[in-house]
Amino acid sequence: MDEALLRAKGLKSTPQRLMALKAIHEGGHIDIDQLHASFNLSGMKVPIATLYRILGELSSVGILHTVTLSGQKTRYEIAKGDHPHFLCEQCGQLEDLNVAMNEIVTIAQHACSHSTRSVSVMLHGVCHNCSTFPLSQSEKAGE
């Protein structure tokens, strides 16, 4: 499936591109360090510069979407249209929210008479897991 997707977007199906897609499929929203660790665990030694190039190529053809978080590394996910995210302020977990964005876009376009290319909505708070099992002070400090 990923091989056909790469070819459809005009990219060669290389082992590195396939591994990157597999890691992102499995990891959801991952950053460059997590991707590099995934490659290393698989035994495929690839320089970080090469991974940045691969991520750039996959993003430029619309296979990947980047999620930029203030003060954090960019995370990558498989592109699946505009959708909101929830970021846990304690554990850093980023998750997709299944909310229709078309209503927000329609309201905004009607109110402002603007043409919208894309939408980015990020909700911040504390996830269910962290609110149920709060981190100790030492865990918050990263000890």
pLDDT confidence of residue 137: 55
Rounded to an integer, what distance in angstroms lies between the CA atom of residue 81 and that of residue 112? 22
Q: Are residues 136 and 115 in the same domain?
A: yes
* pLDDT value at residue 65: 92
Sheet holding 75-78, edge to edge: 30-31, 75-78, 64-67
pLDDT of 107: 78
3-state secondary structure the chain: CHHHHHHHCCCCCCHHHHHHHHHHHHHCCEEHHHHHHHHHHHCCCCCHHHHHHHHHHHHHCCCEEEECCCCCCCEEEECCCCCCEEEECCCCCEEECCCCCHHHHHHHHHHHCCCCCCCCCEEEECCHHHHHCCCCHHHHCCC
Q: Structural domain tally of the chain?
A: 2
Domain of 38, CATH number, reads 1.10.10.10
Q: Are residues 46 and 20 in the same domain?
A: yes
Domain range holding 50? 1-80
Residue at which a domain ends, from 51, 80, 109:
80
Mean pLDDT split into 10-residue runs, the chain, 143 residues:
90 96 93 96 95 97 91 90 86 85 77 76 90 66 49
> What's this model's pTM, rounded to 2 decimal places?
0.76
Shared domain for 14 and 59, answered yes or no, is: yes
Structural element, H or E, at residue 12: none
Of the three residues 80, 98, 132, the one that is the final residue of a domain is 80
Number of helices followed by number of strands (H, E) in the chain = 7, 6
Same structural domain for residues 9 and 26?
A: yes
Question: Which pLDDT belongs to residue 2?
Answer: 86
Asked whether residue 47 falls in the same domain as residue 14, the answer is yes
Last residue of a domain, one of 53, 80, 107: 80
Residue type, 75: R
Same domain, 72 and 100: no
Residues 76 and 6 in one domain: yes
**Are 29 and 1 within one domain?**
yes
Q: What is the CATH number of the domain that holds 134?
A: 3.30.1490.190
